[in-house]
Amino acid sequence: MRTDHATDLEITMENPVLRGDLSFEDYHEILSSEPRTISVSYQDRHLFEITIPPSVFNPIISRSAQALIDIILKGDIPVAGSRFVDLGCGCGIIGLAAAEKSSKSVLYTDINPNIDFLQSHPKFRPDIDRVMTQSFCEKEKENSADIVVFSLPSRIRDQKPSDESVKAAYLRDLDFIPTMIKKISHVLVSGGRFVFWYGIHPNQMHYFSQFIIELSEFFDRNSLACLLEYQFEDGYTSTIYSIVKK
């Protein structure tokens, strides 16, 4: 059970794979074992489809990707005319939604090197958009982006998975957070917007509090706004926040 919000977004997969009793990790291992095509529609209008290659995260049941696409298409964040960064882009559907809403440009970037296929997508604009394999925009110029959108991996592990593993999309260690914040602030213009999804597990609220404290070094804490929140019976909370760079 969750706190629902109205949405006109629909993401479907060709030849669906039933999850059954599989764990989240095992299910996504199966999904990423071979190419799979998903289709994105909004308000009953087909927007695009994309065939996701092996070892790239499939967002078919991802709360974060679907919620971020939803608020982009609804216009809850000002995408039109912006230099948009789809950080940790995976199969790129968040960036493709930004292109659909007339972003000035989209940077699709991920640590996973298997993202070059995005350059052949019909909605990729060769003279405008870019695909880059890198860690947290480390190769990007200062003040080169207006909006950075990132879905923070939601599960904590002692060891970081391989960059080429689908697990890199949803596993993390806490060491990367200060580096991530610093590099995102570097690429954003003053007044630029960082939009992020954060999943808060029961008894882990202190991680989120620490994250907000670290954000405050570079971002205006008074600008922090909750754009969307799901609450589940097991105590898990799924949220999308926006914060503005100082």
* Lowest-confidence region among 105-109, 111-115, 235-239: 235-239
- Kindly state the greatest CA–CA separation across the chain: 47
Considering only CA atoms, which of 61, 72, 242 is closest in space to residue 169? 61
Q: Is 73 in contact with 100 (CB distance < 8 Å)?
A: yes
The mean per-residue pLDDT over the stretch 117-146 comes to 96
Domains and CATH numbers, the chain: 62-245 (3.40.50.150)
Whether the pLDDT of residue 165 is over 70: the answer is no
The mean per-residue pLDDT over the stretch 168-185 comes to 77
Considering only CA atoms, which of 141, 106, 7, 133 is closest in space to residue 66? 7
Q: What is the pLDDT of residue 1?
A: 34
pLDDT bin (cut points 50, 70, 90) of residue 161 is low
Whether the pLDDT of residue 176 is over 90: the answer is no
pLDDT digits (tens, 9 = 90+) for 198-217: 988 788 788 888 889 999 99
pLDDT digits (tens, 9 = 90+) for 59-84: 998 888 999 999 999 999 999 999 99
Lookup result for tokens 């912006």: 82
pLDDT bin (cut points 50, 70, 90) of residue 154 is low
Q: What is the pLDDT of residue 31?
A: 93
19, two tokens:
């999850």
Q: Is 213 in contact with 234 (CB distance < 8 Å)?
A: no
pLDDT digits (tens, 9 = 90+) for 19-60: 999 988 889 889 999 999 999 999 999 999 999 999 899 999
Please tell me the pTM assigned to this model. Answer: 0.92
Backbone angles phi, psi at 192, to 5 degrees: -70, 165
Whether the pLDDT of residue 119 is over 60: the answer is yes
Q: What is the pLDDT of residue 224?
A: 96
Q: Is 97 in contact with 41 (CB distance < 8 Å)?
A: no
* Lowest-confidence region among 32-41, 186-195, 228-237: 228-237
pLDDT bin (cut points 50, 70, 90) of residue 164 is low
Q: How many CB atoms lie within 10 A of CB 190?
A: 10
Q: Is 111 in contact with 118 (CB distance < 8 Å)?
A: no
**Across-strand partners of 240?**
197, 228
Q: How many CB atoms lie within 10 A of CB 3?
A: 11
- Residue 20 CB-half CA count within 13 A: 7
Q: What is the three-class DSSP state of 143?
A: coil
